[in-house]
Amino acid sequence: MDKNGIVLMQRYELGRLLGKGTFAKVYHARSLKTGENVAIKVIDKQKVAKVGLIDQIKREISVMRLVRHPNVVFLHEVMASKTKIYFVMEYVKGGELFDKVSKGKLKEDIARKYFQQLIGAIDYCHSRGVYHRDLKPENLLLDENGDLKISDFGLSALRESRKQDGLLHTTCGTPAYVAPEVICKKGYDGDKADVWSCGVVLYVLLAGFLPFHQKNLVEMYRKIKNGEFRCPNWFPPEVKKLLSRILDPNPNSRIKIEKIMENSWFQKGFKKIETPKSPDSNQIESLISDVQAAFALQPMCYNAFDLISSLSQGFDLSGLFEKEERSESMFTTKKEAREIVSKFEEIATSSERFDLKKSNVGVKMEDRREGRKGQLAIDVEIFEVTKSFHMVEFKKSKGDTMEYKEFCDGELKPSLKDIVWKWQGNNNSNNEKLV
Amino acid sequence: MLAFVKCFSLKRTKHPPGYEDPQVLASETPFTVNEIEALHNLFKKLSTSIIDDGLIHKEEFLLALFRNSSMQNLFADRVFYMFDRKRNGVIEFGEFVRSLSIFHPHTPEHEKSSFMFKLYDLHGTGFIERHELKKMVGALLGETDLELSEESIDAIVEQTMVEVDTNKDGKIDEEEWKELVAKNPSILKNMTLPYLKEVTLAFPSFVLDSEVDD
C-alpha cells in the first residue's frame, strides 16, 4: 500500500516503503518541523502482542537510550497509537554494506575500515551493557560518506530477515552468522556471540562469500559447532590468524573484543572516534585559555539564588525521573581558590595522564590518551560564595561517559578527599563511600 | 451500536478525579499526546506509591525525591505547593502535567522565571523579602549538611541583597528578579528538565495503551 504523503502524528510525513517484515514496515519520512530525514519503523501492536514481545520491546527502548555512537543508527523517539508503535530512527542513505560485497570482495583496506568501525561500535555498546545478539548483513548500513551504521541495536525482539536471496543474506532460520553456542540454545553471553558474528562479517567482506555455507543444514550446523572453515589463499596471514581466534567455537577461549582492538592488523590506520571539532576552534580555545591564565584566577561569585538552584535537592525535580547517573559532580570546600587549583594540578600530574589548562574560572583537564569516543576532557569551575567557602563543579566536556565515570569514581573523587567539605547532589552514596 | 461501544469503553477505563484527557492537555502544553501518555505512567507510579488513589500526596512526592516520605524540606514543600494549583493538598494528573510543562526545554524563559519567583516568595506577598531569603539560605545549608556561622549566612544574604535589590527597599520585587535572571540565566537551570524531551523513551509502557487514533 502506498503511504506517500500521509502525515503521522501531525509530525512526520511518510515517504516510500524501505522494507517490510512480519511485524514491521520501515518507511522513509520527513519531520514537518525540522525537515530532517528519518526512517520510521511501524510495528503492528497486535501481531507483536500475540507473540508476547511487548515487554521485551519496552525494555529494549530503555536500553537504546544509552547508545549514542556515530556508527550506530540513532533512535530519535518512540511514538504510539492505538494499534501501532513507531520507532523514529536516523535515516541512513547509502544502503546495505552487503550490496557492495555482492558485487565482489572488498579491498583489504576497505574491509579493514568497516571492520574497525564495526568493532569500535560493538565495543562501545558492550561497555554500556547493550548487545546486538544477531549481527547480520541487513543490519549493517552505509551512510552517504561510506561509513558504517549498525541498525536495530538492542531491538533484537523485532528482528527478522528482510531479504532471502541466499548467498550473503541469511535465509530465515539459516544461522550463517550465529555463534555455535546460540545455535545450541545454551545460555550464552551477548558479548561473545557478537564477537563471533563480527568474525563472520570480516570473512565475508574479504572473501565475498560465507565461511559456513552448506546446502545441507545439518552439515552446516556441524561445521559451525566445530569451527570448521577455510580461508581463501588471498587472505593475509594475520587475518587468517585473527579469524581462527574469533571463530573459535568455544565462547570461553574466543578472543575478547579488547584483544581484537590490540591486534596489529586491526590497529593499522585505526582511528578512535573523535567528537567532531575543527582544529581551528581548538587553537582559538587554547589561545583564549593562555590569555586568561595570564590573569589571576577570579572565581565567579555565587549569590544565594545560585546556591539554592545548584544545591537544593528539594528543588531538583530530575529526582522524579528514573535517570542515569549524572555526569557532573559538585562539592563545597573551605579552601581558597588557589589551593583548589593546585590540588587539581597535583592530581593531573600524578596521574601521568592529564594535561591541565588554567582559565579564569577554573581549570580544564585533558586526557593525553585516546578513549572510546576521543580524548576525555573535564571542565572544572570554581565559584566563590564567601572568601573561605567555594563551590567546585566538574563535568565531562568531551569523551566517553563511562570512561569519565571510571576516572571520577576511581581516581578523581578519592584524590580530592582532603579538600572536599561536602559532596553535593543526589548522589548520597558518594558521601558514604568517600567518608 | 457505535455509541454503545463507546459508552462501554468509557466505563472500562475509569480514571481517578483530576484525570484529564491527554488530547486536551497536549493542546495546552508543549507535550505531544504520546508524551502525556508516557507522563501518565510516571504519574501512576508516583501516585500509587503509598496511597493507591491516583493522586500524588505530599508523602509520595517526598518519597520520590528523597526516597524518604517524612523528609523535611522547604524547597520540596514549595514545589509541591506550586504544583497543587487547586490547593487541596494533593497533585492531580492535570496539575502534574501543566506544572511540569513549565519545566519543558521549549517553554519560554519568562514563564520559568515567574514560576521561580513565586516559589521563592514564601508568603505570597509579591516580594522576596530579606527574612525569606535568609530562611531559604538556612534551609539550604541545613539540607546539605553544611554548617556555616550565623555571620557567614548573613554575609551571603547581604551580598545577594546588594546585588539584586537595586532600588534598596529591602525586598526583591518581580522587576528586580527579572533583571537578575537576564544577567544570570543559569539561576533558572532547575526550571528545565531535559528528561521531559525523552519521556517517551524513559516510560515506554505507553505504547501498550495509547489512545491516539491511527
Is the pLDDT reported for residue B66 higher than 90? no
> With left for phi above 0 and alpha for psi between -120 and 50, is residue A367 left, alpha or beta?
beta
CA B70/CA B64 separation, integer angstroms: 11
For residue A311, the chain B residues in CB contact (below 8 A) are 140, 143-144
Position with higher pLDDT, B201 vs A108: A108
Query: Would the CB atoms of A303 and B156 count as touching at under 8 Å?
Result: yes
Amino acid A92 reads V
Q: Given this model, what pLDDT does residue B212 score? A: 84
Q: Annotated binding site for ATP: which residue ranges of A? A: 41
Is the pLDDT reported for residue A153 higher than 80? no
The grid coordinates of residue B2 equal 457505535
Q: Given this model, what pLDDT does residue B211 score? A: 82
CA A138/CA B53 separation, integer angstroms: 48
DSSP letter, residue B86 = T
Q: Kindly indicate the confidence band of residue B116, based on its pLDDT and cuts at 50, 70 and 90.
A: very high
Is the pLDDT reported for residue A175 higher than 80? no
Is the pLDDT reported for residue B81 higher than 90? yes
The grid coordinates of residue A327 equal 555526569
**A389 vs B152, B180, B214: nearest CB:** B152
Q: Which of A322, A65, A391, A429 is nearest to B186 (CA)?
A: A391
Catalytic residue among A2, A123, A134, A165: A134
Cα-based distances in Å from A251 to A179, A181, A200: 9, 7, 15
Which range of A101-105, A270-274, A385-389, B126-130 scores highest in mean pLDDT? It is: B126-130
Q: Given this model, what pLDDT does residue A422 score? A: 85
Residue pLDDT, tens place only, A73-97: 988 888 888 888 888 999 998 888 8
Q: Is A136 helix (H, G, I), strand (E, B) or coil?
A: coil
Average pLDDT of chain B is: 88
Angle at A379 between CA A375 and CA A380, to 5 degrees: 145
Cβ–Cβ under 8 Å, residues A394 and A381:
yes
Mean pLDDT score, B137-154:
84
Residue with cell 496511597: B51
Q: Judging by beta carbons within 10 Å of its beta carbon (0-12, 13-18, 19+), is residue B75 exposed, middle or buried?
A: buried
Distance from CA of B49 to the nearest CA of A (A): 12
For residue A79, the chain B residues in CB contact (below 8 A) are 32, 34, 200
SS3 content of chain A, % helix, strand, coil (to 5): 40, 20, 40
Cβ–Cβ under 8 Å, residues B130 and B153:
no
Query: Would the CB atoms of A57 and B204 count as touching at under 8 Å?
Result: yes
Q: Is A18 helix (H, G, I), strand (E, B) or coil?
A: strand
Angle at B200 between CA B195 and CA B206, to 5 degrees: 140
Is the pLDDT reported for residue B2 higher than 80? no
Q: Which of B69, B133, B140 best probes binding to A when mutated, by most A CB atoms within 10 angstroms?
A: B140
> Between A and B, how many residue pairs show a Cβ–Cβ distance under 8 A?
160
Angle at A129 between CA A126 and CA A134, to 5 degrees: 65
Is the pLDDT reported for residue A314 higher than 60? yes
Q: Kindly indicate the confidence band of residue A430, based on its pLDDT and cuts at 50, 70 and 90.
A: very low
Mean pLDDT score, B68-87:
92
Query: Would the CB atoms of A314 and B133 count as touching at under 8 Å?
Result: no
Angle at A288 between CA A286 and CA A289, to 5 degrees: 65
Q: Given this model, what pLDDT does residue A285 score? A: 45
Amino acid A104 reads G
Distance from CA of A307 to the nearest CA of B (A): 8
Amino acid B53 reads D
Q: Kindly indicate the confidence band of residue A2, based on its pLDDT and cuts at 50, 70 and 90.
A: low
Helices (H), A227-278: 237-246, 257-262, 264-267
Query: Would the CB atoms of A81 and B144 count as touching at under 8 Å?
Result: no
The grid coordinates of residue B137 equal 539560605
Residue pLDDT, tens place only, A297-313: 456 678 889 888 888 88
Is the pLDDT reported for residue B87 higher than 90? yes
Residue pLDDT, tens place only, A36-68: 999 998 888 888 777 777 777 777 777 677 778
**A313 vs B34, B66, B212: nearest CB:** B66
Mean pLDDT score, A229-234:
93
Q: Is B127 helix (H, G, I), strand (E, B) or coil?
A: coil
Q: Given this model, what pLDDT does residue A154 score? A: 55
CA A223/CA A368 separation, integer angstroms: 46
Q: Which is it for the CA torsion B56, B59, B60, B63, positive or negative? A: positive
What are the start-end ranges of the E strands in chain B? 56-57, 90-91, 128-129, 171-172
Is the pLDDT reported for residue A434 higher than 70? no
Q: Given this model, what pLDDT does residue A280 score? A: 39
CA B35/CA B57 separation, integer angstroms: 23
The grid coordinates of residue B68 equal 524518604
Query: Would the CB atoms of B137 and A308 count as touching at under 8 Å?
Result: yes
Distance from CA of A60 to the nearest CA of B (A): 9
Q: Which of A184, A169, A273 is nearest to A224 (CA)?
A: A184
Q: Given this model, what pLDDT does residue A183 score? A: 67
Share of chain A above pLDDT 90, in %: 26
Q: Given this model, what pLDDT does residue B56 score? A: 96
The grid coordinates of residue A245 equal 581466534
For residue B120, the chain A residues in CB contact (below 8 A) are 305, 308
Q: Which residues contact B197 (CB under 8 A, 6 or more apart)?
A: B104, B105
Q: Which of B148, B201, B209 best probes binding to A when mutated, by most A CB atoms within 10 angstroms?
A: B201
A238-247 burial code (b ≥16 CB/10 A, e <16): ebeebbebbb
Backbone angles phi, psi at B82, to 5 degrees: -70, -35
Q: Considering only alpha carbons, which residue of chain A is nearest residue B134?
A: A304
Q: Which of A411, A401, A325, A322 is nearest to A125 (CA)?
A: A401
Mean pLDDT score, B65-78:
89
**A303 vs B76, B160, B200: nearest CB:** B160
CA A182/CA A190 separation, integer angstroms: 9
The grid coordinates of residue B41 equal 505512567
Which range of A2-6, A427-431, B140-144 scores highest in mean pLDDT? It is: B140-144
Angle at A378 between CA A397 and CA A418, to 5 degrees: 150
Whether the model pTM is above 0.80: no
Residue pLDDT, tens place only, A92-103: 988 888 888 888
> With left for phi above 0 and alpha for psi between -120 and 50, is residue A416 left, alpha or beta?
alpha
Mean pLDDT score, A304-331:
77
SS (H, E, C) A154-200: CCHHHCCCCCCCCCCCCCCCCCCCCCHHHHCCCCCCHHHHHHHHHHH
Cα-based distances in Å from B140 to A269, A305, B122: 54, 10, 14
H or E, element range at A33: none
Query: Would the CB atoms of B42 and A422 count as touching at under 8 Å?
Result: no
Q: Given this model, what pLDDT does residue B112 score? A: 96
Distance from CA of A315 to the nearest CA of B (A): 5
Cβ–Cβ under 8 Å, residues A234 and A84:
no
Query: Would the CB atoms of A311 and B207 count as touching at under 8 Å?
Result: no
**A389 vs B42, B148, B189: nearest CB:** B148
Mean pLDDT score, B63-67:
86
**B143 vs A312, A317, A386: nearest CB:** A312
Cβ–Cβ under 8 Å, residues B188 and A314:
no
Mean pLDDT score, A170-199:
71
Q: Given this model, what pLDDT does residue A356 score? A: 86
Q: Given this model, what pLDDT does residue A425 score? A: 67
Helices (H), B48-149: 58-66, 74-83, 93-101, 109-120, 130-143
Distance from CA of A317 to the nearest CA of B (A): 7
Query: Would the CB atoms of B163 and A309 count as touching at under 8 Å?
Result: no
Amino acid A422 reads K
CA A88/CA A28 separation, integer angstroms: 10
- Of the given ranges (A113-117, A173-177, A380-384), which has the lowest mean pLDDT? A173-177
Per the annotation, the verdict on A306 as an active-site residue is: no
